[in-house]
Structure 1
Amino acid sequence: MAQASGPRPGLGSVVKRHVRWLRRSPMPVRDAAQVGFALVFRRRGHLVASTVRYRGARRVVHDGPFYFGILCNRLFHAPGDRGALLIHDAGTLVIGADVKIAASARITVGGHLAIGSHTRINHGAKILANTVVTIGEGVAMGPECLILDDDLHDLTVAGVPRTKRAAITVADRVWIGSRCTLLKGTEIGEGSIIAAGSVVTGVIPAGVVAGGSPARVLATAASWTP
């Protein structure tokens, strides 16, 4: 028989533990202040976010602190940038450890979104996951990228209805350049690099450089260092 769990620690003890951690941390004072603010004023069990409007965060499953709007690359950051995290009733968001998403990113989950550990999503990114969007570990996403697994409109061509939604998969250690668009059905293989401004609509193999609209393989045997 499973043993009954003990009482959950009070908010005061949780805050004190985090304050001790912040004092030992080498992070800059500004980041420490933001984290401290978020830890004190967030609802218990929610993500760590001090600059983000969010709803439905109780449906977030995470292996560690999920940083949204703090502790991230401030490239193109503007004062007052605010992002949004909206998880609908049927939606789920699964987060690995040490995931950092910039302040102005906007994420809407009506289906399932999974983001692997150590992934970085930069400013202005927009993600819509109405079916299944999987982003692997160690992925780097540049500013103003767009991921859409749903066309949001029905389309018929020559009397034949087109598929409206399809899953998107980004494997581990993929580098997505700024202002890229990933549309429904996209699959990007491990370690690949997507050139800035590309539109990806199909399958990109592992270890290549791809670019263009629609994206195609430009070089093979490629690698990059985070």
Structure 2
Amino acid sequence: MLIRFVIFKNLSLSCGDNVSIHEGVFLKGLNTMEIGTNVSIHSMCYIDGTGGLKIGDNISIAHSSTIMTTGHTYDDISIPIKYNNATMDSVLLEDDIWIGAGCRILSGVTIGTRSIVAAGAVVNKVVESNSIVGGIPAKIIKKI
């Protein structure tokens, strides 16, 4: 874990203290990522920071979760969708957030401070601070 931390700290835009990146985490676009202090990213997560990613302080990202800052267009019908232009849009995770196991955070999303994303949720729009969201697509379950 220490080796992953040292590598991340040297290749990312910024990295706080007490950051744990567990084994089996795939990180793409390190040079456009910022991570705060007291952050844990658990095993089997896929984190794509290519379009810009900022993770605040006191964040826990449970196993098998995905954060995407890229996507695909499908406007050019003369070529397969997979060859259409890619899009990039940043993701911001403010402070004090718990991302449950198996979540998908899509590009362009901001998750507000002191929020919880329930396991298995797909977040495709802004999550207000002090919210618990869940479902596909994620919707507010409760304000906290």
How many residues were matched structurally?
137
CA–CA separation in structure 1 for the residues paired with 2:123 and 2:64: 15
Q: How much identity, in percent, do the aligned residues show? A: 24
CA–CA separation in structure 2 for the residues paired with 1:139 and 1:209: 15
Aligned position for 2:73 = 154
Displacement, 1:214? 1.1
Q: 2:104 aligns with which of 166, 175, 181?
A: 181
CA–CA separation in structure 2 for the residues paired with 1:164 and 1:155: 11
Q: Is the 8 A contact 1:110 1:131 kept in 2?
A: no
Is 1:194 aligned with 2:117? yes
Q: 1:122 aligns with which of 42, 64, 71?
A: 42
Displacement, 1:111? 4.9
Bigger Rg, which one: 1
CA–CA separation in structure 2 for the residues paired with 1:135 and 1:174: 9
Aligned position for 1:60 = 9
Compute the TM-score of the two structures, normalised by the length of structure 2: 0.85
Q: Which amino acid aligns with 1:60?
A: K
Instruction: Note the alpha carbon deviations across 1:105-164, whole angstroms, 9 max, x for none.
Output: 11111651011100111111110111210111000111100011011x332289xx9971
Give me the CA root mean square deviation. 2.4
Q: Is the 8 A contact 1:100 1:121 kept in 2?
A: yes
Q: Is the 8 A contact 1:121 1:140 kept in 2?
A: yes
CA–CA separation in structure 1 for the residues paired with 2:64 and 2:112: 21
Instruction: Note the alpha carbon deviations across 1:141-193, whole angstroms, 9 max, x for none.
Output: 11100011011x332289xx997110100010100000000010011000000
Is 1:209 aligned with 2:128? no
Aligned position for 1:64 = none
Q: Which amino acid aligns with 1:125?
A: C
Q: Which runs of 5+ in 1 are unaligned?
A: 1-34, 36-47, 62-86
Q: Is the 8 A contact 2:13 2:30 kept in 1?
A: no
Q: 2:91 aligns with which of 168, 175, 194?
A: 168
CA–CA separation in structure 2 for the residues paired with 1:163 and 1:123: 27
Instruction: Note the alpha carbon deviations across 1:9-45, whole angstroms, 9 max, x for none.
Output: xxxxxxxxxxxxxxxxxxxxxxxxxx8xxxxxxxxxx
State the 4+ residue runs in structure 1 displaced beyond 2 angstroms: none
Displacement, 1:219? 0.4
Q: Is the 8 A contact 2:70 2:86 kept in 1?
A: no
CA–CA separation in structure 1 for the residues paired with 2:119 and 2:20: 21
Q: Secondary structure at the match of 2:88?
A: coil
Q: Which amino acid aligns with 2:115?
A: S
Q: Is the 8 A contact 2:132 2:141 kept in 1?
A: yes
CA–CA separation in structure 1 for the residues paired with 2:61 and 2:30: 21
Report 1:107-146 matches (<5 A).
Answer: 107-109=27-29, 111-146=31-66
Greater strand content: 2
Q: Is the 8 A contact 1:111 1:131 kept in 2?
A: no
Q: Which runs of 5+ in 2 are unaligned?
A: 78-83
Q: Is the 8 A contact 1:181 1:199 kept in 2?
A: yes
